[in-house]
A and B are shown apart, each in its own frame.
Chain A
């Protein structure tokens, strides 16, 4: 498999979305090609970091009460 084709399939390979034939071809290519294997490791790092983001929101929330009051729900039309 060529590098360009391998790079195109890395996300689907990572997510388990390839059929068996393509999966083996990409796997074989990654075993032989250091640059493509490096890209694959980087993508895996990003996906893992995103998963952590899901469990640790780390968001600073605005004033909930202020936004509620701004909506004026119950004090007339909110359209």
Chain B
């Protein structure tokens, strides 16, 4: 049964949240099952790692349980939970930022800027980009590029929303998105050339 169908036939997310806040574990468990897949999918796309996504899903719902009383129904529950998930992933990125192999949200990204010099580019055509090829390429993006690409092009958020969620400017969001797309293009073409 889809979330929309559950909403029509059962209690709303807001009602479940209110009951959860009063200590009704069964209501919280229902919220968990309604939104588990959405939270896991977002965490997976943003991290590119099933193991990290699993841990972050657990962290997000644990945090949700502790904060459920602060949900006032002013926005949709899914929007509220979505932001909470993004925040958990970003905190995770910041925690591991101290590890030298990771960088997140610096403009530099530890990357050589993507440049296209006339006449030097591989003229091969772009291969057909299916789900597997794209997901594989997304998983290789630096975290900052990946977050903006996933939030904008996959999840469909506007730059203003992304800027607010990630604590960056709209200009940075636009710039990161463009770099992410160019980097994906390079990764996909490189992958095709290697096959």
Chain B interface mostly = helix
Chain A interface mostly = helix
Contact A73 B25 (CB under 8 A): yes
Q: Could you say which of A42, A64, A73 contacts B126, with CB atoms under 8 Å apart?
A: A42
Contact A53 B174 (CB under 8 A): no
Residues 30-57 of B contacting A (Cβ, < 8 Å) = 32-33, 36-37, 40-41, 44, 50, 54, 57
Contact B62 A71 (CB under 8 A): yes
A22 within 8 A of B: no
Contact with A along B43-84 (1 / 0, CB 8 A): 010000010001001100110011000000000000000000
- Inter-chain CA distance A35–B58, complex, in Å, is 46
| Given known A-B contacts A10-B178, A39-B116, A42-B126, A50 and B65 have beta carbons under 8 A apart | no
- Inter-chain CA distance A67–B121, complex, in Å, is 47
Contact A54 B156 (CB under 8 A): yes
| Given known A-B contacts A11-B177, A54-B156, A61 and B131 have beta carbons under 8 A apart | no
Contact with A along B125-163 (1 / 0, CB 8 A): 010011111110000000000000100011110000000
Contact B40 A59 (CB under 8 A): yes
How many chain A residues sit at the interface, stated as a range, is 35 or more
B7 within 8 A of A: no
Q: What is the minimal beta-carbon distance from A41 to any residue of chain B, in angstroms?
A: 7
Q: Could you say which of B32, B37, B129, B174 contacts A61, with CB atoms under 8 Å apart?
A: B37
Q: Which residues of B contact A (CB under 8 A)?
A: 25, 28-29, 32-33, 36-37, 40-41, 44, 50, 54, 57-58, 61-62, 65-66, 116, 118, 121, 126, 129-135, 149, 153-156, 174, 177-178, 181-182, 184-185, 188-189
Apart from A58-B131, A61-B36, 20 more pairs, CB < 8 Å = A8-B178, A11-B174, A39-B182, A41-B126, A46-B184, A46-B185, A47-B181, A49-B134, A50-B153, A51-B153, A57-B37, A57-B41, A62-B40, A67-B54, A71-B58, A71-B61, A71-B65, A73-B25, A78-B62, A78-B66
